[in-house]
């Protein structure tokens, strides 16, 4: 993705994949997939991949990165290139995005929301409607529909008048937000191992003992459902009641336990303990809600633990001295091998 997603592992994905290693017959489950940066690297390394994120927008972004050109022939529209060209020709429509997220919002409320120019907002509405129409007429498959929605979200990101998230818009138009929205085609490998997608709460994600699960939970209070609300609306293609100056869609049912300092430690423990997979990797930051020493102690009680710093080569040792030294470490990767039966933790 060409935008800054909070907590994206794009910069350190190679180091993560180095630790995860070669495909071993099981599925690589990216349970908090976000932009899909890690899932994509695993897929390219030969893993069968399952991407999951409780936000549809993130699940779609991720899924579109683990498909091959063979998965998306676009027979109903002749080719992918034709589909993208047709999308760029679509007539702009004054729909929901225009009504709520461009200055046209001041026609029915007190706020002139400046997420998109009116013209770009109408283009998003027109393109989203076109994708839905193609799917309803079965001119595109579900996979092809998801690829086009992902392409549209990337196009919207390029012209969004924000500081990187959709928590709020900027009060002056940024140069890129005045550009005309244009969908660009993505590139796909000719073939990749089979991939699947889910949008479940992480505690509902199913896996088998032979699978490898990668966990990259939020580690700060920033709730993704609120920070990326417009992408979620584009993905869902719905018209929710939005609130406040920033026009945020209802997001509390997607509030994540991992974003609350008082709940995060228990949520991680419950999750890691309950997953049947024998090999679990967890990314966490030294700046996260849960202190690294207590996280290490908890995880060591669930399985055999090794901890790796992904910015300083070497093995991170989770004792107090190491923890203090870790204040400038940043990203850690915990590897839990469940050699003994998972500890049962009360829900
Ligand atoms: C740190 S980001 C993942 C970043 C990702 N690894 C990447 O490189 O782009 C955390 C993700 O977890 C998702 N999430 C938060 N709580 C969740 C939950 N309870 N179940 C499933 N997904 C959740 C968020 O929507 C967000 O996309």
Looking at residue 319, its pLDDT comes to 52
- Is 346 inside any structural domain? no
Mean pLDDT calculated for residue range 173-187:
98
**Ligand 1, pocket-test mutation among 10, 20, 31, 54, most atoms within 8 A of CB:** 54
C-beta pairs of 307-312 under 8 Å, 24+ apart in sequence? 307/332, 307/333, 307/334, 307/335, 308/19, 308/332, 308/333, 308/334, 308/335, 310/12, 310/15, 310/16, 311/12
Same domain, 213 and 275: no
DSSP conformation letters of 235-260 = HHT-----BTTTTBPP-GGG--GGGS
DSSP state letter for 176: G
Whether residue 229 has its Cβ less than 6 Å from ligand 1: no
> What average pLDDT does this structure show over 16-28?
97
Q: Does the pLDDT of residue 340 top 60, yes or no? A: no
160 part of a folded domain: yes
Residue 52 inside a domain? The answer is yes
Among the three residues 238, 254, 270, which one is the final residue of a domain in this structure? 254
Find the domain containing 294 and state its range.
260-337
Q: Are residues 267 and 313 in the same domain?
A: yes
Q: Angle formed by the axes of helices 56-63 and 229-236, to 10°?
A: 70
CB 197 within 8 A of CB 72: no
Ligand 1 pocket residue status of 201, Cβ below 6 Å: yes
| Any atom of ligand 1 within 6 Å of the Cβ of 9 | yes
Looking at ligand 1, which atom is closest to the CA of residue 35? Answer: 9
Q: What is the pLDDT of residue 320?
A: 53
In ligand 1, which atom is closest to the CA atom of 13? 8
CB 127 within 8 A of CB 87: yes
Measured from the CB, is residue 288 less than 6 Å from ligand 1? no
**pLDDT score recorded for residue 241:** 97
Note whether 250 and 265 are same-domain residues: no
322: which 2 tokens? 């190491």
2 pLDDT higher than 70: no
Could you tell me the distance, in angstroms and rounded to a whole number, from the CA of residue 33 to the centre of ligand 1?
Answer: 6
**198 CB under 6 A from ligand 1?**
no
Q: Which residue has the tokens 């191992």?
A: 193
In a domain, 345, yes or no: no
pLDDT above 70 (res 217): yes
pLDDT at position 314 is 42
Structure confidence at residue 328 (pLDDT): 55
Q: What angle do CA 326, 327, 331 make, to 5 degrees?
A: 65
pLDDT category, 344, cuts 50, 70, 90? very low
Q: Is residue 150 part of a domain?
A: yes
Number of other residues whose CB lies within 10 A of the CB of residue 222: 14
pLDDT digits (tens, 9 = 90+) for 114-168: 999 999 999 999 999 999 999 999 999 999 999 999 999 999 999 999 999 999 9
Q: Would 285 be classed as within a structural domain?
A: yes
Question: Do residues 218 and 7 lie in contact, with contact meaning Cβ atoms separated by under 8 Å?
Answer: yes
87 C-alpha to ligand 1 centroid (Å): 29
Ligand 1 center–CA 97 separation, angstroms? 25
Q: Is the domain of 272 the same as that of 140?
A: no
Same domain, 123 and 168: yes
**Same domain for 268 and 161:** no
The percent of residues above 90 in pLDDT, for the chain, comes to: 90
Mean pLDDT confidence for 29-53 = 98
Q: Which long-range contacts (CB under 8 A, 24 or more apart) does 239-245 make?
A: 239/96, 242/100, 245/111, 245/113, 245/168
Supply the pLDDT for residue 263: 97
pLDDT at 346: 35
Residues 246 and 277 in one domain: no
Report d(CA 92, CA 120) in Å as an integer: 8
Identify whether 343 is part of a domain. Answer: no
Mean pLDDT of 64-86: 98
CB within 8 A of 261, min separation 6: which ones? 221, 289
Burial of 73 (0-12, 13-18, 19+ CB in 10 A): middle
The answer to whether position 347 is within a domain reads no
Q: What's residue 347's pLDDT?
A: 35
Regarding whether 175 and 110 lie in a shared domain, the answer is yes
Helix (H) or strand (E) holding 284: strand 279-285
Cα separation values, 274 from 280, 302, 346, Å: 11, 10, 10
In angstroms, the CA 39 to CA 196 distance is 11
The domain tally of the chain equals 2
Is the CB–ligand 1 distance for residue 38 below 6 Å?
yes
Last residue in a domain, options 237, 254, 271: 254
Instruction: Show which of 205, 235, 254 is a domain's final residue.
Output: 254
2 vs 172: which has the higher pLDDT: 172
Q: Where are the alpha helices (DSSP H) in the chain?
A: 13-20, 37-44, 56-63, 80-89, 96-101, 118-136, 142-159, 224-227, 229-236, 261-274, 292-300, 320-325
pLDDT digits (tens, 9 = 90+) for 277-335: 999 999 999 999 999 999 999 999 999 999 999 974 344 445 554 555 444 558 999 99
What local confidence, expressed as pLDDT, does residue 6 receive?
95
Q: Is the CB of 258 under 6 A from ligand 1?
A: yes
* Residues 28 and 86 placed together within one structural domain of the fold: yes
Give tens-digit pLDDT for 203-216. Answer: 999 999 999 999 99
Closest atom, ligand 1, to C-alpha of 34 = 27
How far apart (Å, rounded) are the C-alpha atoms in residues 167 and 100?
14
Q: Residue 4: what pLDDT?
A: 81
Backbone angles phi, psi at 333, to 5 degrees: -120, 120
Closest residue by Cα to atom 15, ligand 1, is 256
Please tell me if the CB atom of residue 7 comes closer than 6 angstroms to any atom of ligand 1. yes
Q: Rounded to the nearest whole angstrom, what is the distance from the C-alpha of residue 172 to the centroid of ligand 1?
A: 30
Split at pLDDT 50, 70, 90, the class of 341 is low
Answer yes or no: do 246 and 290 share one domain: no
Candidate from 190-204, 205-219, 260-274, 322-336 with smallest mean pLDDT: 322-336
Which residue is closest in CA terms to ligand 1's atom 16? 256
Q: Is 266 found in the same domain as 236?
A: no
Residue 217 Cα, ligand 1 centroid: separation in angstroms?
A: 5
176 pLDDT exceeds 60?
A: yes
Same structural domain for residues 88 and 174? yes
Is residue 279 within 8 A of residue 299, CB to CB? The reply is no
């Amino acid at each position: 993705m060409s935008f800054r997603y909070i907590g994206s592992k794009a910069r350190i994905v190679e180091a993560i994949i180095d630790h995860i290693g070669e495909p071993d017959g099981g599925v690589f489950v990216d349970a908090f997939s976000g932009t899909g940066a890690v899932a994509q690297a695993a897929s390219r390394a030969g893993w069968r991949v399952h991407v999951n994120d409780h936000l549809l927008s993130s699940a779609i972004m991720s899924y579109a990165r683990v498909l091959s050109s063979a998965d998306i022939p676009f027979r109903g529209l002749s080719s992918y290139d034709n589909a993208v060209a047709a999308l760029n020709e679509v007539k702009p429509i004054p729909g929901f995005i225009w009504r709520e997220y461009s200055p046209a919002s001041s026609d029915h409320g007190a706020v002139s929301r400046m997420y998109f120019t009116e013209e770009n907002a109408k283009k998003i509405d027109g393109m989203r409607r076109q994708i839905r129409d193609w799917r309803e007429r079965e001119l595109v498959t579900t996979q092809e529909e998801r690829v086009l929605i992902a392409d549209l979200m990337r196009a919207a990101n390029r012209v969004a008048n924000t500081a990187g998230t959709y928590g709020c818009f900027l009060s002056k138009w940024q140069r890129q937000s005045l550009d005309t929205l244009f969908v660009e085609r993505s590139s796909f490998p000719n073939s990749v191992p089979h991939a699947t997608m889910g949008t479940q709460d992480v505690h509902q994600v199913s896996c088998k003992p032979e699978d490898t699960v990668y966990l990259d939970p939020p580690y700060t209070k920033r709730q993704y459902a609120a920070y990326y609300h417009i992408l979620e609306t584009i993905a869902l293609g719905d018209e929710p009641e939005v609130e406040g100056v920033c026009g945020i869609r209802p997001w509390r049912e997607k509030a994540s336990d991992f974003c609350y300092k008082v709940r995060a430690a228990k949520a991680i423990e419950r999750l890691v303990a309950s997953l049947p997979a024998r090999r679990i990797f967890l990314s966490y930051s030294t700046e996260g809600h849960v202190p690294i020493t207590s996280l290490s102690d908890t995880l060591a009680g669930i399985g055999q633990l090794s901890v790796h710093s992904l910015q300083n080569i070497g093995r991170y040792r989770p004792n107090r001295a190491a923890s203090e030294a870790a204040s400038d470490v940043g990203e850690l990767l915990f590897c839990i091998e469940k050699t003994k039966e998972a500890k049962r933790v009360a829900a």
